Structure 1
Amino acid sequence: MPSPRFPDITEAGTAVIGTRFAESTDLQQRTADTEADELERARQTAGLTAVSWFLSADGETVLSCAQWNSDVAHDAYLRASGFTPPLAGPPRYRLHRSLAEEHETRAPGCLITAAFDVDGPERQRAFTETVIAAQSRDESPPGAISAHSLHSADGSRVLLYTEWTSVEAHQEAAAAGDHDGTHAIFADTPGVRFTRGGRWHLQRSLRVSGT
């Protein structure tokens, strides 16, 4: 089986990102592979463009990212199928802002996420712009490839989705204090509550020819 390819989160009209507890590394892999195999065998799902499965570095959780070309396509799927991981949700996200070097060619080795509950759309935007501004002023750590801010469609959540060369590179940046300023923003912004973070390795990915 060829190595899975990291999703291009900037291509998603709507991204449905969810996590499921898996108890162990073996169960993580079985969950991701079973879901991917079933989807690969299934008939095409209209409007679905890609699905990716990530395993947490702590061996406990599976994260899936289903990319749809629009909210309309996702709504139609929900009406027909209801809640069916990994294609449903909640929540569903839209890309708000991205930071990446124009000529970046390195392939991501891991995904780092930080999720927040926020008090509405205005807080979503203000919090994201503050985080982006802080990162834009600082020199990027050696292992950082890109950073993306996603907003839930209902205005209640922000997901920071960052690509790194490796888990070790992210750990080294944290140990060097490169994240201290951003973490202060996380802690000190009113109406924003950090809920969870994770380091993830890509297990499977599918490109889907949904129309």
Structure 2
Amino acid sequence: MEAHVPASAQTAPAHPGVVVTSRWQVADRHAQRATADSAMARWRHLPRPEGCLSVTCLLSTDGHLVMFYSRWESEQDYRLHAGNVGERDTADRVAAHGSGVTHLDAVVSSLATPPGSLSGDAPHPGCVALISIATDGPELQQQAAERIATFRADAHPGAIGGHLLFSLDGTRLTLYAEWTSEEAHREAIAGSSFGGERGIFDGVPGIRGLSMHRYQRYRTAGR
């Protein structure tokens, strides 16, 4: 799998707290917006769970995915909330799923790198690219992160910044990359020197590309 990697997404010591990414598949853009609005209305009007810092809703540019990116002070806070309301509804609180809305996954991760941008006056991202990479254990998460840092392409003018997430079970690394626009990301990929079905992980045992989707930020609750 091929992906242009922003220069700011480099390995660093883990940061406190956890991030939960929860994905829902929907039939079309109408269902995408309805699902997002339902969930974010509940986040705005109901008391926020203890330890939940913020929830950001993102909509995939193809119209078929809704993702919730929530930040928690600790894994314990998230697990307590999950036990109270049910695992599949923890990150998003979707009020009415409706037909054709399917919960895909909820991944609990640590921040392997701090959120940041390439410059202090970076523009608001017009596109967020999420690249998921499967890893066979924590050691390979670190190896994948180091390989990303080593093989990253030169920073494209449209690259704003990004960070890495390590799933707590060691099975996944996620690159969260911010871009000025979807067109800028497409252009960067088209000009990338990393080719092949598996891109920079081609021939590396225990590490393989899973998916890449482009999103736009929709709404945020919390700080």
Structure-2-length-normalised TM-score? 0.80
User: For residue 107 of structure 1, what is the aligned residue in structure 2?
Assistant: 124
Deviates more, 1:42-51 or 1:80-89: 80-89
1: CA distance, partners of 2:122 / 2:130: 21
Contact 1:22 1:28 in 2 (8 A): yes
1: CA distance, partners of 2:130 / 2:172: 13
Contact 1:93 1:151 in 2 (8 A): yes
Q: Is residue 73 of structure 1 aligned with residue 77 of structure 2?
A: yes
Unpaired segments of 5 or more residues in structure 1? 1-9
Contact 1:147 1:160 in 2 (8 A): yes
Q: Is residue 184 of structure 1 aligned with residue 188 of structure 2?
A: no
**What is the SS of the residue equivalent to 2:106?**
coil
User: For residue 3 of structure 1, what is the aligned residue in structure 2?
Assistant: none
Structure-1-length-normalised TM-score? 0.84
User: For residue 178 of structure 2, what is the aligned residue in structure 1?
Assistant: 163
Deviates more, 1:78-87 or 1:146-155: 78-87
**Given the superposition, is the C-alpha separation of residues 165 and 122 from structure 1 closer, same or farther in structure 2, using an over 3 Å criterion?**
same
Contact 1:14 1:68 in 2 (8 A): yes
Q: Is residue 24 of structure 1 aligned with residue 28 of structure 2?
A: yes
**Equivalent of 1:59, from 63, 77, 90?**
63
**What is the SS of the residue equivalent to 1:91?**
strand
Deviates more, 1:98-107 or 1:32-41: 98-107
User: For residue 91 of structure 1, what is the aligned residue in structure 2?
Assistant: 107
1: CA distance, partners of 2:77 / 2:146: 29
Q: Is residue 198 of structure 1 aligned with residue 213 of structure 2?
A: yes
2: CA distance, partners of 1:72 / 1:27: 32
Q: Which residue type is aligned with residue 172 of structure 2?
A: R
User: For residue 187 of structure 2, what is the aligned residue in structure 1?
Assistant: 172
Contact 1:28 1:55 in 2 (8 A): yes
**Given the superposition, is the C-alpha separation of residues 104 and 134 from structure 1 closer, same or farther in structure 2, using an over 3 Å criterion?**
farther
**Given the superposition, is the C-alpha separation of residues 27 and 179 from structure 1 closer, same or farther in structure 2, using an over 3 Å criterion?**
farther
Contact 1:116 1:194 in 2 (8 A): yes
Once the two structures are TM-superposed, the CA of residue 177 in structure 1 deviates from its matched residue by 2.5
Stretches of 4+ moved more than 4 A in 1?
Answer: 178-181
**Equivalent of 1:50, from 46, 51, 54?**
54
Unpaired segments of 5 or more residues in structure 2? 1-13, 93-104
Contact 1:13 1:69 in 2 (8 A): yes
2: CA distance, partners of 1:178 / 1:104: 28
**Given the superposition, is the C-alpha separation of residues 198 and 175 from structure 1 closer, same or farther in structure 2, using an over 3 Å criterion?**
same
User: For residue 5 of structure 1, what is the aligned residue in structure 2?
Assistant: none
- Compute the RMSD of aligned alpha carbons: 2.4
2: CA distance, partners of 1:204 / 1:76: 25
**Given the superposition, is the C-alpha separation of residues 90 and 78 from structure 1 closer, same or farther in structure 2, using an over 3 Å criterion?**
same
Contact 1:12 1:68 in 2 (8 A): no
Once the two structures are TM-superposed, the CA of residue 117 in structure 1 deviates from its matched residue by 1.6
Q: How many residues align?
A: 197
Among all aligned residue pairs of Structure 1 and Structure 2, give the percentage whose two residues are the same amino acid.
29
**What is the SS of the residue equivalent to 1:49?**
strand
